Amino acid sequence: MLRTEILSGLTVALALVPEAVAFAFVAGVHPLVGLYAAFLVGLITALIGGRPGMISGATGALAVVMVALVAEHGVEYLFATVVLMGIMQILAGVFKLGKFIRLVPHAVMLGFVNGLAIVIFLAQLTQFQVPGSAEASGHGMSGGEWLSGWPLYLMLALVALTMLIIWATPKITSAFPAPLAGILIVALIVIGFNLDVPRVGDMASIEGGLPPFHIPSVPLNFDTLEIIFPYALVLAAIGLIESLLTLNLVNQMTDQRGGASQECIAQGISNTVTGFFGGMGGCAMIGQSMINVKSGGRTRIAGIAAALFLLSFILFASPLIEQIPLAALVGVMFMVVIGTFAWNTFRIMRVSTKFASFVTILVTVVTVLEDLAVAVVVGVIVSALQYAWVNARRIHARAYTTPEGAKVYQVDGPLFFGSAEGFQEIFDVKGDPKKVFIDFAESRVADQSALNAIETLAGRYAEEGKELHLRHLSRDCKALLSKTGLIIDEADDDPEYQIAADYAVQRGLFGGGH
């Protein structure tokens, strides 16, 4: 219902403020640069994104990449980088590269979710620093002095109270988002009793105007492109990976499907626009997306409302928002951590393979130590190598001799780059009779390495003066191998699968026929 969507958007907007400010500090830019990014990216992706209910904004995963660029070249180069980043993401959507997110195994998804939950938890610990000490340290929200004594106990008590309210509210009423109830009640207690605890305004003032249109002041030449291109490529990749994985997670929670390519285009457009309006860029935010979904936000209205509320905070309500205690927002994010972490991981690891458990732990650790993009890429590569290794060991053949004296090899298992060497070892070229048949009915020729292996084997038999016949090859495989002069037997039950090879490339790799 509309009321639930709007209240959910308000809850998300309140949680966005300290996150956007903190990530701006991390990147080394003015807080409004982070807030403008949260507003523009959040609004545009809410309007045209591939997954209603998802929340986007300035994120830490992107901020840590921007630090070196801003420090060395200044904020104008950051704006230009964000524009180029957006263009890259639009192209990724146009060419439908988002579909490759389906290649992420479940073990990697578990590691991503758990690692991100830990990262969200660790990010909240910086709110337990003495207000102002973090900025003074020159390291954004890290490196400051920690609270101790009574201020620390009061902060912890308010965090615990917020979490208790969020837990209890759904048991009392479903008419009001639980996170918003926690924020408002704790804020009223703090303001009413004038408790001396860190508040949003202690981080930075969020007062400002509308985002101004601004063309990045950088030279339009190759030297500029050389500077910003590597950063833009990394930022585009991280942004899309985090957005698409968040999309999949929200899909699972809401039992609905979202459009990966549409989300890529929406992220790209939002970042391109943000770069021209003084924002630091952004991507999907799993923490705020979880807040939205758990608060009842299911449509685009919630995301639009969150962005508009955030803008109204900047324009009109900054004095009021700056009074909200950070403890309330930390409590909300701690509940997000509890809800995000896949607690069934431990049960799954007991019944799954040791390798799957290893991948889950690996991705979790790399997410915490590096970033989620690196973690996901590492997890996918390790999983792919293990899959290739397992399949490489599967290939074997059953051999028998016909009454006419010919030998038949019935190959079983996929023939691809990983099994090509094992395929060669199956055959006794010197000891085989004059006529040999290879039956691929139980195999599959998968790539150019497989074609090369077949032609190499045929060459070995040809050198021995023996005749090699190939059976049950797919149509396109036969079309490629027939160019080499190999003997290929036709049959009505030949398979129909496609092989990932191009004849021109294949000829360049394999050379002439035998």
pLDDT, tens digit (0-9, with 9 covering 90-100), for 344-364: 888 888 888 899 999 999 999
The CA R_g of the chain, rounded to the nearest whole Å, is 29
Find tokens 């601004």 and name the residue: 214
> From CA 378, how far away is CA 383, in angstroms rounded?
8
| pLDDT of the residue at 140 | 41
| pLDDT of the residue at 143 | 53
| Contact in structure between 58 and 64 (CB atoms under 8 Å) | no
DSSP for residue 235: H
First to last CA, the chain: 72
| pLDDT of the residue at 505 | 41
| pLDDT of the residue at 501 | 47
| pLDDT of the residue at 496 | 75
Phi first, then psi: what are they for 220, rounded to 5°? -90, 80
| pLDDT of the residue at 75 | 96
DSSP for residue 199: B
Phi first, then psi: what are they for 140, rounded to 5°? 65, -125
> From CA 280, how far away is CA 275, in angstroms rounded?
7
Find tokens 């996170």 and name the residue: 179
| pLDDT of the residue at 102 | 81
Closest listed residue to residue 112, CA positions, set 286, 307, 232: 286
> From CA 202, how far away is CA 198, in angstroms rounded?
6
> From CA 405, how far away is CA 432, in angstroms rounded?
10
> Per mean pLDDT, which range of 100-114, 140-154, 214-228 is the poorest?
140-154
- Take residue 49 and report the two structure tokens written for it: 């994104």
| pLDDT of the residue at 342 | 87
| pLDDT of the residue at 88 | 97
Residue-wise pLDDT for 350-403, tens only, equals 888 899 999 999 999 998 888 777 888 899 999 999 988 888 888 999 999 999
| pLDDT of the residue at 436 | 95
pLDDT mean over 314-342: 91
Q: 264 versus 132: which is more confidently predicted?
A: 264
Q: Is 202 exposed, middle or buried (0-12, 13-18, 19+ CB in 10 A)?
A: middle
pTM as predicted: 0.77
> From CA 147, how far away is CA 112, in angstroms rounded?
31
| pLDDT of the residue at 122 | 87
Asked whether the predicted pLDDT for residue 243 surpasses 70, the reply is: yes
Dihedral of alpha carbons 369, 287, 210, 139, sign = negative
**Single-letter code of the amino acid located at 513:** G
Asked whether the predicted pLDDT for residue 87 surpasses 60, the reply is: yes
| Cα-based torsion angle of the residue sequence 23, 29, 35, 39 in order, rounded to the nearest 10 degrees | -100
Q: 327 versus 134: which is more confidently predicted?
A: 327
Residue-wise pLDDT for 184-211, tens only, equals 999 999 999 999 999 998 888 899 999 9
> From CA 271, how far away is CA 244, in angstroms rounded?
16
User: What contacts 167, CB < 8 A, 6 or more positions away?
Assistant: 178, 335
**Single-letter code of the amino acid located at 62:** L
Closest listed residue to residue 457, CA positions, set 492, 489, 421: 421
| pLDDT of the residue at 511 | 40
> Cα dist. 454→198, 300, 396, 426 in Å?
71, 55, 14, 12
Domain 393-510 has CATH 3.30.70.3340: no
Mean pLDDT, the chain, whole residue set? 88
Closest listed residue to residue 301, CA positions, set 35, 13, 53, 11: 53
Residue-wise pLDDT for 132-178, tens only, equals 655 444 334 445 688 899 999 999 999 999 999 999 999 998 878 89
Residue-wise pLDDT for 28-54, tens only, equals 899 999 999 999 999 999 999 998 999
- Take residue 357 and report the two structure tokens written for it: 């458990």
Please state whether beta strands 407-415 and 435-445 pair in parallel, antiparallel, or not at all (unpaired): parallel
User: Max CA-CA distance within the chain?
Assistant: 100
Asked whether the predicted pLDDT for residue 502 surpasses 60, the reply is: no
List, by residue range, all CATH 3.30.750.24 domains of the chain.
Answer: 393-510
Angle 200-203-204 (CA atoms, 0-180°, nearest 5)? Answer: 95
Asked whether the predicted pLDDT for residue 83 surpasses 50, the reply is: yes
Residue-wise pLDDT for 12-32, tens only, equals 999 999 889 888 888 889 999
SS3 state at 145: coil
Please give the share of the chain, as a percent, with pLDDT higher than 70: 94
**Single-letter code of the amino acid located at 169:** T
| pLDDT of the residue at 144 | 65
| pLDDT of the residue at 125 | 87
> Cα dist. 289→2, 242, 327 in Å?
18, 12, 20
- Take residue 435 and report the two structure tokens written for it: 């006529």
Angle 425-426-429 (CA atoms, 0-180°, nearest 5)? Answer: 80
Closest listed residue to residue 98, CA positions, set 287, 303, 245, 251: 245
| pLDDT of the residue at 113 | 85
Asked whether the predicted pLDDT for residue 214 surpasses 70, the reply is: yes
Look at the chain and count its residues: 514
DSSP for residue 97: G
> Per mean pLDDT, which range of 201-205, 223-227, 335-339, 501-505 is the poorest?
501-505
Asked whether the predicted pLDDT for residue 131 surpasses 80, the reply is: no
* Cβ-based neighbour number of residue 465 at 10 Å: 7
pLDDT mean over 95-118: 87
**Single-letter code of the amino acid located at 104:** V
Dihedral of alpha carbons 359, 365, 368, 371, sign = negative
pLDDT mean over 480-485: 76
Asked whether the predicted pLDDT for residue 479 surpasses 90, the reply is: no
Asked whether the predicted pLDDT for residue 239 surpasses 90, the reply is: yes
DSSP 304-328: HHHHHHHHHHHHT-HHHHTTSBHHH
Asked whether the predicted pLDDT for residue 70 surpasses 70, the reply is: yes
Angle 61-289-357 (CA atoms, 0-180°, nearest 5)? Answer: 65
Residue-wise pLDDT for 422-463, tens only, equals 999 999 999 999 999 999 999 988 888 999 999 999 999 999
Asked whether the predicted pLDDT for residue 333 surpasses 70, the reply is: yes
